[in-house]
Structure 1
Amino acid sequence: MKTNILKIHPNDNVLVALADLQPGQTVQWAGFEYLIAEAIPAKHKLATQAFEPGDGITMYGVLVGKAKGRIPAGGLLTTFNVQHATNTYAQAAKQVSWPAPAVDRWQERTFMGYHRADGTVGTANYWLVIPLVFCENRNIQVLEEALVNDLGYNRRHTYQRQTQELIGMMQAGKTVEEILQADLQSALAEEVKPRLFPNVDGVKFLAHDGGCGGTRQDAQALCGLLAGYIMHPNVAGATVLSLGCQNAQVAILQEEIQKRDPQFAKPLVVLEQQKIGTEESLISQALRQTFAGLMLANTNVRRPAPLRKLTLGLECGGSDGFSGISANPAVGYTSDLLVALGGTVILAEFPELCGVEQELCDRCVNTETATRFTGLMQAYSRRAQAVGSGFDMNPSPGNIRDGLITDAMKSAGAAKKGGTSPVVAVLDYPEPVTKPGLNLLCTPGNDVESTTAEVGSGATLVLFTTGLGTPTGNPIAPVVKLSSNTALARRMPDIIDINTGTIIDGDETIQQAGERILDYIIQVASGEQEVSAVRHGQDDFIPWKRGVSL
């Protein structure tokens, strides 16, 4: 039976409103009745007891805040009466005993992927064009203009005819009011030529603003990230443009590639403008060699691969008060299924693991892994505090408006994406994943920086949960967008791929949703299902400069 409230953990002293609750209304949970003291919007939290200043507030079974003032039983929790608080944690690991979910149904399943020489399998087949420094961004743009349309990779919609309509209305003497009320024609997809290389999913251009002018550590990290993209299973080869005098030198990039794979064998074109001379000479060489690389990349075709070859990145953005009870735990169950099948999962966004550190430490396979996790968390927290910030400043205005009023409350729900499996490794940005199972990767909570990092570490597709609606994508890895509530899925169907609001609606369990997600990503990995972010050409790419980004 559908209910209008939810208690997430038996030890919690708050309830989640699944629907708007009115003052004087009585709600019931597990044999207890609660009188609503004031209006409680859906997704927000109400007190199950009277809180005095300093009293701890528990959700998901962990401390997520403390009362700043008196809160009556049945009262609304807000940023005015609750402040961020978490329990302390220690760098210890317990004996990990994990009851893995049953995976008989998927044991013999395969996906159709691109097999690489290093044994990895991609879910797509791209060629990359990469600048080593922002000075080359214009040349990257010139190459994009020269290649994309004629090769059949133009995916953009055009609103040009709407502009033409508006010009016509103005010339016809229409008023400002008439123009504002005009019903314009729908946008059209630009005419796309057939792909010249049918087995190549696209040519992607990773423009960025780094490579020089920052610290040498930033340049090293950028080269590590770019090496991760060049070596990525979804990438057939790459063209790299270097100016020549920047911090991010070609030698550093080659060193980072060798660290990851001494037997690196992909086609790699490296061109240095200051050695070649004119722009025309540079672009002509880049076009010839890139075209030849595409001819080679087109010889690779999809072949069956076991599901253990998949690597999932886990991300959330534009989270709401339902994210931690629908989309995130559903993704967590999908994560557990894939781990049980021998696959790999990456949980990132360290500022959004604040408050659940002890649980994750206890899930680490050994003390060394737990120690590395706590060390990275503490160092990150100190860097934030050194500039007058802190993890408590992580929730965005949208998060707060929709019920996530402290970072610990947001984090406890965000961590559910990682399921329940043991933590096999902890990685610092931009390290690659090398072990199957659940990996923790140190990244910011910023959606694009974190997604960029997860893919750089090896995620061949990303599950991205959202409660408010976020169009984030990635140049080379499909980003599957999952809504936490049905209203969002209906309001923004152009960016949402999967609706897990069915859990809130009472139509599906977390386990059923997790299984549905796994079936869907097998189709995506096989090239049978195109996700919204790919369809819209949402190619977001932002390297992390290791400054404080929450």
Structure 2
Amino acid sequence: MQSSYVQIDPLDNIIVAITDLPAGTLVEINNQTITLKENIKQKHKFALNDLSIGANIFMYGVLVGVATQNIDSGSAITVSNIKHAAAGYNKQENSYQWNPPSVEKFKELTFDGYHRKDGKVGTANYWLVIPLVFCENRNVELLEASLNEALGYSDKKDISIDTTALIKKYQAGETETSIYETPILTTQKELKKNRVFKNVDGIKYLKHDGGCGGIRQDAEVLCNLLAGYIANANVAGATILSLGCQNAQMEILEKALEKISPKTKKTVHYLEQQQSRNEHSFIEEAVKLTFLGLIEANKVKREPAPLSKIKLGLECGGSDGFSGISANPALGYASDLLVALGGSPVLAEFPELNGVEQELINRCIREEDAQKFTKLMSSYSSAAVAVGSGFENNPSPGNIKDGLITDAMKSAGAAKKGGTSPIVEVLDYTEQVEKPGLNLLCTPGNDVESTTGLAGSGCNIIVFTTGLGTPTGNPITPILKLASNTTLAEKMDDIIDVNTGTIISGEDTIESMGEKILLKIIEVASGRIEVKAEINGNNDFIPWKRGISL
């Protein structure tokens, strides 16, 4: 990019500052020269033209706000002088034409994955332990304590904190200042890997706070989600712990699994505590059955698979003013490459598609998907308004601080993750990704609720872009983190896997970085690279109860 400012689209009347720009800087755009009236912080925007009250604000070529004050050219765009506005949407306007990128250099590539009997291919091989109700969370913890270390799965890098040094200082009567200044952090240590089952990547424990109480729909949705996790290609089988009297009954889970994956041949052990002799025998039975399941899971080995078997979740979180011009469009290009190779990218986070609905509607191959997307977006928006909120409340304080000051501005950049390919199917929460090509999946914008939903709908790898940094991970699906800027990549290198800030500095283009991302996806999918979220043990799992969550 190699510029101190950029106009992203010719229609835009606000300009992005790539570096801090002092007042008085001369800016030349479209054969006109303007003088900055005030300091413009990096990632923030300034007006290209004089804007009167009520004037529409455009960025990425779409409506992202409206002026609430008169704004002089060269003045900063802030929450004080504009408010959220987004374009409306209607039926499909025309048939969509797409020119796919060249995939000549990728078409012979494969990844090494775990082939399942239903034809799916996993990028990992996990066994699940799942409570059907929060009452079983303690028993799940007992299983974890009984199994993980003994089987060699407590093998992640860890930070060593010497709390005893603080205790000794306190007991010796040291001052609070002395205690605070005591160094207690040691370098990371690599715990010894000594796995009993070499082909099983781990046992994952999906603790949650649902399964009973709430409404019956919550229990049904939870069972659909859990069935999706069992059916995910990254999972070999599962041990299910039920209390017995909860809303989320075993029969509901069994029916959900049969519906979404009738061809699955995975082993699933169902145990009900209220039918057990006592808690000790219940835990003993669960441990033995899980161990037998691991023996079977260990028989599967990685073998080459076509890239068309990749179901790629597209996620962003902790976004900044660079996300929409570096990480997201680069991921979008990688998404287009994958579509051209027969793969299935999945764009989620419906509250963060506000303002770009018409573009996505126009990209739907089938009219029924365009109508379904319209209905889901309209219902979601109406439900938010009904509880006194709305999509305009989606940007977080961190988003606003780093230049994303309206939801439409955030959404227009977030949608870039979906590239430019046609949309083959629109899915509601927990519906399964089956068709090759770009899918839309209804999830909240909340990072963990969204990644939980992506994995539950079948994604076997997720790429997560961030401008501010987030440690989010998923129990069964590797999450590859992209930094939108070099400062973040260097500051939080313990959670970032790829730096796309080289686009901002001009070392990469969107296309060259997109190709690098796809190659990295192949390495992660093959198990040759362990993502930082997995190394750090980030296993975030939050089911969406279908209430309003932005």
TM-score, structure 1 normalization? 0.98
Partners of 1:394 and 1:288 in 2: how far apart? 46
In 2, the alpha carbon distance for the partners of 1:404 and 1:318 equals 11
Shift of 1:224: 0.4
Q: Kindly provide the CA deviation profile for residues 146-188 of structure 1, in whole angstroms up to 9, marking residues without a partner as x.
A: 0111111114565665201111222333211112222334154
CA contact (8 A) 2:163 2:184 kept: no
Do the aligned residues in 1 keep the contact of 2:228 with 2:432 (CA within 8 Å)?
yes
1:162–1:187: 8 Å Cα contact kept in structure 2? no
Q: Which residue of 2 aligns with 1:141?
A: 141
Change (3 A) 1:265 1:123: same
Report the CA distance shift for 1:160/1:519 in structure 2 as closer, same or farther (over 3 A). closer
- Matching of residues 240-319 of structure 1 within 5 Å: 240-319=240-319
Q: 1:9 to 1:161 in 2, by over 3 A?
A: closer
1:262 CA drift (Å): 2.0
Q: Distance in 2 between matches of 1:156 and 1:528?
A: 16
CA distance in structure 2 between the partners assigned to 1:446 and 1:252 by the alignment:
27
1:264-291 deviations in Å (ceiling 9; x for gaps): 2101000000111311111000000000
1:343-358 correspondence runs (5 A) = 343-358=343-358
Aligned AA (2:139): N
Aligned position for 2:127? 127
Residue identity in the other structure for 2:526: S
Partner of 2:33, secondary structure, is strand
Contact 1:364 1:422 in 2 (8 A): yes
Q: Which residue of 1 aligns with 2:118?
A: 118
Residue 183 of structure 2 corresponds to residue 183 of structure 1: yes
What secondary structure sits across from 2:162 in the alignment? helix
**1:163 aligns to what?**
163
Q: Which amino acid aligns with 2:229?
A: Y
Tell me how far apart the structure 2 counterparts of residues 69 and 540 of structure 1 sit (CA, whole Å): 42
Q: Is the CA contact 1:169–1:179 (under 8 Å) kept in the aligned structure 2?
A: yes
Give 1:190 deviation, angstroms: 7.0
Q: Percent identity?
A: 59
- Name the stretch that deviates more: 187-196 or 485-494: 187-196
Residues 330 and 510 in structure 1, CA contact (< 8 A), matched pair in contact too: yes
Could you say what secondary structure the match of 1:104 adopts?
coil
CA distance in 1, matches of 2:452, 2:2: 39
Alpha-carbon distance between aligned partners in 1 of 2:432 and 2:326, rounded to the nearest angstrom? 29
Contact 1:427 1:441 in 2 (8 A): yes
Give per-residue Cα distances to partners, 1:496-526, cap 9 Å, x unaligned: 0000000011111000000000011100000
Q: Secondary structure at the match of 2:105?
A: helix
The correspondence of residues 419-430 of structure 1 with structure 2, limited to 5 A, is 419-430=419-430
* Correspondence 1:526 to 2:526: yes
1:103 and 2:103 matched = yes
Helix, strand or coil: the match of 2:203?
strand
Q: Following superposition of structure 1 onto structure 2, how do residues 76-475 of structure 1 map, counting pairs within 5 Å?
A: 76-92=76-92, 94-155=94-155, 161-189=161-189, 191-475=191-475
1:159–1:518 distance in 2 versus 1, CA, 3 Å? closer
Separation of aligned partners in 2, 1:143 and 1:373: 42
Structure-2 change in CA distance of 1:193 and 1:509 (3 Å): closer
Partners of 1:160 and 1:511 lie apart in 2 by 41
Q: Following the alignment from structure 1 to structure 2, what is the Cα–Cα distance between the partners of residues 99 and 309?
A: 22
Q: Which residue of 1 aligns with 2:65?
A: 65
Deviation at 1:6, TM superposition (A): 0.5
Query: Aligned equivalents of 1:22 and 1:287: distance in 2?
Result: 64
Look up the match of 2:536.
Answer: 536
Give secondary structure in 2 for the equivalent of 1:146: helix
RMSD: 1.2
Query: Structure 1 residues 93, 246: closer, same or farther in 2, change over 3 A?
Result: farther
Gaps of 5+ in 1: none
**Aligned residue type for 1:64:** V
Looking at structure 1, the residues matched to 150 and 61 of structure 2 have their Cα atoms a distance apart, in angstroms, of 56
Aligned-partner Cα distance in 2 for 1:86–1:234: 39
On the 8 A contact 2:157/2:535 being kept in 1, the answer is: no
Residues 334-373 of structure 1: per-residue CA shift (max 9 Å, x gap): 0000000000010000000000000000100021110000
Q: Could you tell me how far apart the structure 2 residues matched to 1:31 and 1:524 are? A: 46
Give the gaps of 5 or more residues in structure 2.
none
* 2:334 counterpart letter in structure 1: T
Distance 2:512 2:257 in 1: 41
- Please tell me the residue identity of whatever aligns with 2:438: L
Q: Contact between 2:222 and 2:248, CA under 8 Å: does it hold in 1?
A: yes
User: Which deviations, in whole Å up to 9, do the C-alpha atoms of 1:474-505 show, x marking residues without a partner?
Assistant: 00110000000000001000000000000011
Structure 2 partner of 1:505: 505
Kindly indicate whether the alpha-carbon contact (under 8 Å) linking 1:93 and 1:365 is maintained by their aligned counterparts in 2. no
Secondary structure class of the residue paired with 2:195:
coil
Residue in structure 2 matched with residue 18 of structure 1 by the alignment: 18
CA distance in 1, matches of 2:417, 2:370: 19
Does the residue aligned with 1:319 lie in a helix, a strand or coil?
coil
Deviates more, 1:137-146 or 1:89-98: 89-98
How far apart, in 2, do the equivalents of 1:161 and 1:153 lie? 21
SS at match of 1:325: coil
Q: Which amino acid aligns with 1:43?
A: K
Asked if the contact 2:155/2:193 (under 8 Å) is kept, the reply is no
Contact 2:158/2:536 (<8 A) preserved = no
- Name the amino acid aligned to 1:94: N
1:105 aligned counterpart, secondary structure: coil
The CA distance in 1 between the partners of 2:123 and 2:279, in whole Å, is: 35
Alpha-carbon separation, structure 2, partners of 1:185 and 1:549: 37
